[in-house]
Structure 1
């Protein structure tokens, strides 16, 4: 929870415009006018980063609507046979909502939903990933896991994917051999990138500084009762770390969880104004309207001080990322690019649903961002576990 003098950890303040000191101009525009502008800008970013045309973008939103409407119903209907669901883009560029079942796909089929048959249920895959977490936690010599970057359930392909650095395949094989997992569940993904790293930038002249640690980005404005603050990444600073924005000391990190999780919140002054907005770094802002979880395959955009406003797709949930100072569990993987200094920044859908805050990613050797990678690997800490853990409330726009 927030405490007036002992606050949460804040990371690179990529102005998710929680404290929108620079966002006051947006408040001079009516809600209707702002919503129209924001929708156009979101559409532009999604078309730019996802390669969509106008027709495909409209069709994507229809598929997203189908997913939100049907996910809970299909999960309940299939029960133990449920093997996950996702949004899938076909060769023609159009999207469809797909649900997988370990039973008969034909028996579960329904009009707007495509049902496919999978070998393993989602629960079986999740249990396998949890077993790998337990093996990692119980390994005393962590260097034995060097080169094993991350693991997570790949729902569309019905596998547990283990990301491995070049030259470390035998270590990954030993890692799996130490478990009781059916090897048919496992797929090794060879990574050309450096080991996963939190996106911390220790440079000067940035708008949000965690004193003594570096710069981060603000995720979302939040409150704890009457106490004002913002949500960010846990690796941006420990409890009590002073936080400044635009050179002004505004508060400190009040609560933090890292490693294990990558979440934190920091307090600001009672005189600071909080806005439920996320900057797009072009003079416009995305309104924060809630925190409904987007499905796998959904489009998502992020904001951060280093790389600005970028969009991509959700690849998988509940990733375990093997950072050098300890693993972080429960992260979401996306193809939206990011870089050092973007840590703590906002992830949000085009419909204004907050998804999380930037944790880290894999960078090409010698690079400060992964925006030049063919398929960027970036992880974010989901927002809802942060809200529930400390009883925080999002500030809505």
Structure 2
């Protein structure tokens, strides 16, 4: 399927998000001076700024959402057929079949039986089929679960007939997106120089079942399986696999093998904004959950998760399975770590719109939107258990 060249691959770039240190060297820990002691969670300050809450109020608000997210995970483990979830304030709404509605309600969550992620994902596929030869004018397409529709962004020069055809489809919402082109900045940086010639960001470190030290990153960062150096030019690993293939239908996940003398440190660096945050696990937090990312170009920017299973285009490479967030990114942020409520790893920066102007360390004030590769999907695909703090 050929979509219009529309979104920036904010990568082949760097963001120094999760720390990588030589084996045996001193690395940041929650007790170190570089780690914020009064901000127990990475999203506390964001909620304080966004909502005008005190620190105590923000912490209570996030604790409520964290508790409900944990309740949802418990229900899934019990076999409840969860098919999408989203927050309305602090109320967690869960898409489920009618047979599971009572169990969801008894757990203090709100069941929704009329709208589901899988239903909207199927409709998104039909939108692309319906666009046919005009699909080059489709910028992005994917589920808007809270509204129960599929959102479609069309280029400004899209044929009027295409807009009319898509407008006529039930549960499809059509808007016009920015005129976008692909972009790849080369930004020197601290962590992950690719040899030859470009830079990218470390994602989340972990281990394979055989104990091998590896790192999950954006697939386009390791296309070509490059040697990987740190900012000082020291070899720290090799790209060993990618599902991103330029010009082909792709998934933006990849794997780096970490050299045996080095070790991944599961702490997200907020780029001088508010310290380091220990990773306590991984999750696909519900839509509407707060989320922040670290990036080399824009630093610490925050927003909310807005969608899963989005299909986007990077210069003729159609990438599926991405999540969308109202988090600002620019060229240079690719691979940066997204961390969410509960200090849970969410994903790695994949891309975003060209022309975004995020500033530096602007939190939620940056605006715009971006796409990330969910870390859960990448870890499951590669059989990686991500490293966490104790």
How far the C-alpha of 1:335 sits from its partner, in A, is 0.6
Residue 85 of structure 2 aligns with which residue?
85
- Provide closer, same or farther for how the CA distance between residues 114 and 167 of structure 1 changes in structure 2, counting only shifts above 3 A: same
1: CA distance between counterparts of 2:182 and 2:78? 38
1:156 is the counterpart of 2:156? no
Count matched residues: 367
Among residues 386, 390, 393, which one is paired with 2:378 in the alignment?
Answer: 386
Q: Is the 8 A contact 2:42 2:292 kept in 1?
A: no
- Provide closer, same or farther for how the CA distance between residues 332 and 41 of structure 1 changes in structure 2, counting only shifts above 3 A: closer
Among residues 66, 74, 98, which one is paired with 2:93 in the alignment?
Answer: 98
Residue 49 of structure 2 aligns with which residue?
48
How far the C-alpha of 1:299 sits from its partner, in A, is 0.7
Among residues 130, 134, 147, which one is paired with 2:125 in the alignment?
Answer: 130
1:309 is the counterpart of 2:309? no
Residue 3 of structure 1 aligns with which residue?
none
1: CA distance between counterparts of 2:262 and 2:73? 39
1: CA distance between counterparts of 2:236 and 2:218? 17
1: CA distance between counterparts of 2:165 and 2:228? 40
Residue 189 of structure 1 aligns with which residue?
175
- Provide closer, same or farther for how the CA distance between residues 184 and 379 of structure 1 changes in structure 2, counting only shifts above 3 A: same
Residue 12 of structure 1 aligns with which residue?
13
Residue 345 of structure 2 aligns with which residue?
354
Q: Is the 8 A contact 1:26 1:285 kept in 2?
A: no
1:288 is the counterpart of 2:279? yes
Residue 113 of structure 1 aligns with which residue?
109
1: CA distance between counterparts of 2:338 and 2:276? 13
Among residues 241, 250, 257, which one is paired with 1:255 in the alignment?
Answer: 241
Q: Cα deviation per residue 1:340-363 (whole Å; 9 max; x = unaligned)? A: 111111111142211111000113
Residue 202 of structure 2 aligns with which residue?
218
How far the C-alpha of 1:215 sits from its partner, in A, is 1.9
SS of the counterpart of 2:281? coil
Residue 6 of structure 1 aligns with which residue?
none
- Provide closer, same or farther for how the CA distance between residues 121 and 254 of structure 1 changes in structure 2, counting only shifts above 3 A: closer
Residue 299 of structure 1 aligns with which residue?
290
Residue 7 of structure 1 aligns with which residue?
none
1: CA distance between counterparts of 2:41 and 2:380? 32
How far the C-alpha of 1:219 sits from its partner, in A, is 1.0
TM-score, normalisation: structure 2 = 0.79
SS of the counterpart of 1:255? strand
- Name whichever of 259-268 and 50-59 sits farther off: 50-59
- Which ranges in structure 1 are unaligned for 5 or more consecutive residues? 1-9, 90-94
Q: Is the 8 A contact 1:344 1:357 kept in 2?
A: yes
- Which ranges in structure 2 are unaligned for 5 or more consecutive residues? 1-10
1:265 is the counterpart of 2:255? yes
1:318 is the counterpart of 2:320? no
How far the C-alpha of 1:176 sits from its partner, in A, is 4.2
Q: Is the 8 A contact 1:230 1:266 kept in 2?
A: yes
Q: Cα deviation per residue 1:113-166 (whole Å; 9 max; x = unaligned)? A: 345674x54432221123345678xx6x6xx43331111110110001111122
SS of the counterpart of 1:276? strand
How far the C-alpha of 1:289 sits from its partner, in A, is 1.4
Q: Is the 8 A contact 2:225 2:239 kept in 1?
A: yes
- Name whichever of 291-300 and 370-379 sits farther off: 370-379
Q: Is the 8 A contact 1:85 1:98 kept in 2?
A: yes
TM-score, normalisation: structure 1 = 0.78
Q: Is the 8 A contact 1:149 1:196 kept in 2?
A: no
SS of the counterpart of 2:328? coil
The RMSD of aligned alpha carbons is 3.8
